[in-house]
Amino acid sequence: MGVGKVWSEQTYEGRLNTLWEVDSGKPGPSLLFTGHLDTKPVCEGWQRDPFDGAIENGRLFGHGVMDMKAGLGSLAGGIVTLMESGVDFRGKVTFVAVADHMGQQTGSIDLFRRHKFDHCVLAELTDMQIYIAHRGRYYFDISTIGRSAHTCHKYSAINAIEKMLPVIEELSKLKYFPDISEELKELVGPELYTAVGRIYGGLFPGGPSMIPDRCTIRVDTRPQPGVPLEEVKAIIVAAIERAKARDPQIVCEIVDADVKDWFMVDRNAPIVDALKSSWESVMGRAAAFRGGSWLGDTASFGKLCETVIFGPGGEPVYQPNESLALTDIEAATRIYALTAAKILQAS
């Protein structure tokens, strides 16, 4: 078996996925341990070097330790544990640290374009809880179209920014509760979240004076598993129609700007069962399942591979002086090793 094979694969523009495969040499299932390498930017307010990686008072400090470098470290430690334990296993386990989670998830998309896996553990920060679902994300770009003119000729203009105001007001009033199961309501919540997250209009700062003929907003929606794009778009369009009823001069365009899929795995799936029983062995109590409103890379591969999400680290994340307890890293390492031993057990 040796120590396995390590290599990198380019996704795009020089960005790399890093892979480490340990093959038992015996036929059996293929287990993926994965997480992302990229982080969000460093926030203001750190009182120490955010990249020092120091350990003090039983905590490891550093930017991105929770999202999700401790998860990746613990996955690797789990594999080393499996290898050194002498537990007889079959099949293979592959560790993959992917690129571009914060962008378009091209690292995970490319990984699954090239490779197939039977089971997966994604080490997103879940505060040591077991997640079996998360919401998706649909972006809609809405533009109001006006008529531009110099401010001196205001009488001949239709200001696209002003025409956007009733649209934003109507969107802000939205409270929508899709018809979903009680299980889903419990996991990810009953309300479909919508928010106007960005607004663009007029010329750039320092530019000439001009009444704008276009204003665009991006509406961020977070649908629960099973809620289709068409259903969400319909409530957005209805809100726009209410704005138009208030002001017949409003002319709108709506574009489906981006779709990230929701994720849900059967709570009786073998990988869920393996991680749950390992968790209970380590934690000494019964496990409960959770769901999230954030996006994992499972938005891109969750329907291609049976996956459970579990990792060290939790909210608040990306805050000054971020740190994580070493006890969580140790417990996660143990849970990952046991999960691999169970799903790959030889007999």
Q: Which residues bind other proteins (CB under 8 A)?
A: 2-4, 6-8, 14-18, 20, 37-42, 51-53, 55, 60-65, 69-70, 72-74, 76-78, 80-82, 84-87, 97, 99-100, 102-103, 107, 277-278, 281, 326, 329-330, 332-334, 337-338, 341-342, 345
Min dist. Cβ of residue 53 to other proteins (A): 4
Q: Which CB atom, from 88 or from 241, has the smaller least distance to other proteins? A: 88
What is the Cα–Cα distance from 167 to 244, expressed in whole angstroms? Answer: 8
User: 332 by DSSP, 3-state: which?
Assistant: helix
Rounded to a whole number of angstroms, the minimum distance from the CB of residue 123 to other proteins is: 11
Cβ pair 102, 87 in contact under 8 A? no
Q: How far is the CB of 118 from other proteins (least distance, A)?
A: 19
The Cα 124–Cα 98 span in angstroms is 12
Nearest approach in angstroms of CB 309 to other proteins is 18
Q: What are phi and psi of 195, to 5 degrees?
A: -155, 145
Q: Within 13 Å and on the Cβ side, how many CA atoms surround 291?
A: 24
Q: Of 115, 264, 130, 56, which Cα lies nearest the Cα of 65?
A: 56
How many other C-beta atoms can be found within 10 angstroms of the C-beta atom of residue 326? Answer: 15
**Which DSSP string corresponds to 205-240?**
TTS---B-SEEEEEEEEEPPTT--HHHHHHHHHHHH
Residue labelled with tokens 């954030």:
294
**How far apart are the C-alpha atoms of 17 and 30, rounded to whole Å?**
18
Question: Closest approach of Cβ 98 to other proteins, in Å?
Answer: 8
Q: Is 237 exposed, middle or buried (0-12, 13-18, 19+ CB in 10 A)?
A: middle
Q: With respect to other proteins, which residue has the nearer C-beta, 12 or 200? A: 12
Contact 97, 17 (CB under 8 A): yes
In the complex, least distance from residue 155 CB atom to other proteins, rounded to whole angstroms = 46
